[in-house]
Amino acid sequence: MAGVLLRVGGGFVACLEPQVKPARRVLDGAAAAALEGIRERYLALLGRDGAQAQLLALGRELAVWLDGPERWLGALRQVRPLVLELRGPAEPGEAEWAVLQAPWELIADEDGFFAADGQLTFSPIRRLGEPQNAPALSDHRLGLTFMAGAPRGEVELAYEAEESAILGAAGTLGLDLVVEESGNPELLAQRLGRLADMPVLHLSCHGHNAWRPPDQPGAHPRPVLFLEDDEGNALPTDTTALVEALGVHTPRLLALSACLTAAAAPDDPATGKVADSLATALVGAGVPAVLGWEGSIYDHEATAFAHELYEQLANGQPLERAASVARRTVLTDPKRPARHWHLARLWFGPQGGGKLIQGGGGVERFAVQTGYSEFLDAKGQRSPVAGRDAFIGRRREMQAGLRSLRGTQHAGLLGSVPN
């Protein structure tokens, strides 16, 4: 997708846009420190009410930094759509991370946030490594696998509303949806192994960017997702565990609907290395594209963002544009003012970006799994069996039944499905 490339590396920032001259500036300690200062003030604002004016001021500071003495910004504002690709090496250094991790979603001028301009269609994306050709797209329409993790004892998420919204909209969006109810990465991988070319995996759960095992208080904190074991207990899942579970079933886009999945863990003083977030670690481990959140986000904003993102992707739009439209939809919602619209971060590896399908209206893999009845044919009698949508909200009962069967007090289970 056309746009502007901002390459960082080797002590320089280069703006590879034909109208920009000079196209390169030094990335020294002062330039990196300016961006780090903006990011620190940005992070301090997260979670505060009434911070829109302060966020706008930070966005204008970012614009001044990008414009610089070379006056890049005037030429960049003429690019339509304005996809700003911030490309760093596969293993960025400290100054390069300062550019990549700055909150470019906020960039603004005297007219307001770039993200709110429907004509500009501003979309900042970040890439680690040089682009490579991605595998050919299939002729199927968009395929999405959804799984929520909601371990017992954790703060309840509104994942059932998110699941129901995506499930209910699948028929109108023109996508193939599979809901994996287990919340378990191993069972998810088994499910993906039975599906053909599902390019999107959407995980809805809690996340943490600095988790330590309770029995290892001295361990260095690392980013994790809180998924579930088969009895519903918390299963902290880091990059290594998730990538190993997915194996060859890695999606083209991994959407992490979980807080802090794009927030970096604390730097490791033992190595001096700038720490990864879960999103950047997954990209480094070979996932082509990862969508994460820089902080904590309201459930309704995450759901609205996801719905618009998948509508755009199902219509054959490139991932960069889909994210831009989803962000603007949340930001400009007249009924419900947005607080966290700027938190979504889109990270690419060498094969990330562009379209996920050939175009809208592709070949259907299977019927959307809602609104129909299944029957068990036993001895000539057709008895109704609950469809997949009937199990939304029943995970706790199923896990409790599994724990009972593994015990010694009960020999079986008896349940019923309401009419």
Q: Domains in the chain, please, with CATH?
A: 4-128 (no CATH), 143-348 (3.40.50.1460)
- Reference 47, options 224, 252, 259, 332; nearest CA is 259
Count of C-beta atoms within a 10 Å radius of residue 355: 20
For residue 242 the two structure tokens come to 């998730």
Q: With contact defined as beta carbons under 8 Å apart, do 128 and 284 qualify?
A: yes
The model's pLDDT over 214-245, given as tens digits with 9 standing for 90+, comes to 999 888 899 999 999 989 999 999 999 999 99
Burial of 111 (C-beta count, 10 Å sphere; 0-12/13-18/19+): exposed
What is the rounded average pLDDT for all residues in the chain? 86
When pLDDT is cut at 50, 70 and 90, the band that residue 410 belongs to is low
∠ CA 400-406-410, rounded to 5°:
80
Judge whether residue 367 has pLDDT over 70.
no
Question: How far apart (Å, rounded) are the C-alpha atoms in residues 205 and 172?
Answer: 25
- Reference 136, options 322, 364, 357, 359; nearest CA is 357
Question: How far apart (Å, rounded) are the C-alpha atoms in residues 199 and 252?
Answer: 5
- Reference 392, options 155, 154, 162; nearest CA is 162
The model's pLDDT over 304-322, given as tens digits with 9 standing for 90+, comes to 999 899 999 999 999 999 9
